[in-house]
Amino acid sequence: MAKEKIKIILGITGLSKSFHDNSVALVKNGKIIFAASEERYTRIKHDKSFPANSIKQALKFAKIPRDNVDLIAVGYPQRYFFQPFLGQDLVDLIKALLSWIRGRKIYFISDSLKILMGEFIQNSQGREAKKLLVNKKRTYIGHHLSHAASAYFTAGYKEALAVCMDAFGPKENGELISGAVYVCDNNKVGKCAEEIKVNSSIGLFYTSVTQALGFTPGDGEGKTMGLAAYGNTTIAYKSLKKIAPFFKGEKWYKSPIWAEMFFSLRKEFRPIFESLPIGRFLRKLIKKYGRENVAAAAQLILEEEATKYFEYLVSTYKAENLILGGGLFLNVKMNKRISEIRGVRNVFVHPNAGDGGTALGAALQLYSEKVGFKILPRQIEEVSWGTNYTKNRKFLKLF
């Protein structure tokens, strides 16, 4: 397809049901003309279903026939869930599985396996996707690259270091990582300069604590941050530090029980998570020290490790402008610590830093690759990219 013919790109977070916050964006001639999450129309918080409603609303809002969409960018490639456990880390998975199976009843194991298979087997060729995306060329953009593009092309900084961190996400080849760093310049996101392995995911650690506290993973991390304000950071610090990944020198070091942290990802996994050593350990910690003190310790560990990592990045890449994307940067207290690092001049966090923002990021990145930005877009001043409220408003029934 010739460059001059590419005008409209539709961005989608993903085509499966293995993540959350599925969203849609429309980019026309490099300009953002629409962006909204599926939850806006279904009223299901963090809706992960295929965004059929959002696509229809986007095309209707922009008055664009479906056939006029030139390309489709997907910000969540099909992932290979067991890839991080290959090689030496396979031992960690075996240990986690043995710990889970030990003492479990057969029916419990059977039910748990059904939950796991239902969550991790992707349906990337769903009926709705086929119907709406028929005859359209789809391009998969790496998850963290999509986060980076969402931030770079809306921040307005010509030279910047894009840092993207979350629990984990797939690269174009399906390999899972928990973070990536990109040097951005010349109106484009450069090649990946660094990656963080899943076994060193500080986001996965924080989600594990969130799960143990009884909050919903992928949503309740903000509650963990809020609860931390009421606790003492030192009481449970040493105990919790033993299971957290950490950054030292120029490297992230893995958690000793990182494989078990995977079972913190869904609230449906809570019975499995609580039966593992990590679940029992955190439950005892909470009982002994209190929920607020465990939350406070987790928040401090997150801030300390992130600060050490960003001090290294700022020093290594001589970065004055930081642009951030990924669910980890929804933690505003951590972001404040990062902004106070010596040498940092500007910090820009994409307004939709979670997975919902990757729909826009994927579309912008694909436009950058296929057409290119002759002039870098200015920093966004508002994010009203969806449809307006109508007179036919629907109110929630409280009783």
* Residues 2-13 pLDDT 10s: 455 778 999 999
Q: Across the beta sheet with 346-349, what order do the strands follow?
A: 188-196, 176-185, 160-170, 321-325, 346-349
* Structural domains of the chain, ranges and CATH numbers in brackets: 1-79+122-140+354-399 (3.30.420.40), 80-120+155-352 (3.30.420.40)
Q: Is the model more confident about 301 or about 50?
A: 301
pLDDT at 154: 97
pLDDT at 267: 86
Q: Among 60-64, 332-336, 351-355, 386-390, which stretch is predicted with the lowest mean pLDDT?
A: 386-390
Q: Is the model more confident about 246 or about 260?
A: 246
pLDDT at 275: 85
Residue 135, helix vs strand vs coil: coil
Helices (H), 229-326: 237-241, 258-261, 270-275, 277-289, 291-317
pLDDT at 128: 58
pLDDT band at 101 (very low <50, low <70, confident <90, very high): low
0.85 exceeded by pTM: yes
Residue 121 clears pLDDT 80, i.e. is over it: no
Which DSSP letter does residue 87 get?
G
Averaged pLDDT of the chain:
87
Mean pLDDT of 249-277: 89
pLDDT at 199: 92
Number of residues that make up the chain: 399
Q: Is the model more confident about 235 or about 136?
A: 235
Residue 80 clears pLDDT 90, i.e. is over it: no
Q: For residues 145 and 147, what is the distance between their CA atoms, to the nearest angstrom?
A: 5
Residue 124 clears pLDDT 80, i.e. is over it: no
Residue 204 clears pLDDT 90, i.e. is over it: yes
Tokens of 78: 């099909």
Q: Among 98-102, 147-151, 395-399, which stretch is predicted with the lowest mean pLDDT?
A: 395-399
Kindly give, in sequence order, each residue whose CB lies less than 8 Å from that of residue 395, ignoring residues fewer than 6 positions away. none
Beta strands, E only, the chain: 8-12, 23-28, 31-37, 71-74, 138-140, 160-170, 176-185, 188-196, 246-248, 251-253, 321-325, 346-349
Residue in 156, 109, 154, 179 with CA at minimum distance from that of residue 326: 179
Q: Among 89-103, 221-235, 273-287, which stretch is predicted with the lowest mean pLDDT?
A: 89-103
Return the H-helix or E-strand segment holding 95. helix 90-101
34: which strand partners?
Answer: 26
From first CA to last CA, the distance across the chain in angstroms is 55
pLDDT at 309: 98
| 251-253/246-248 β-pairing | antiparallel
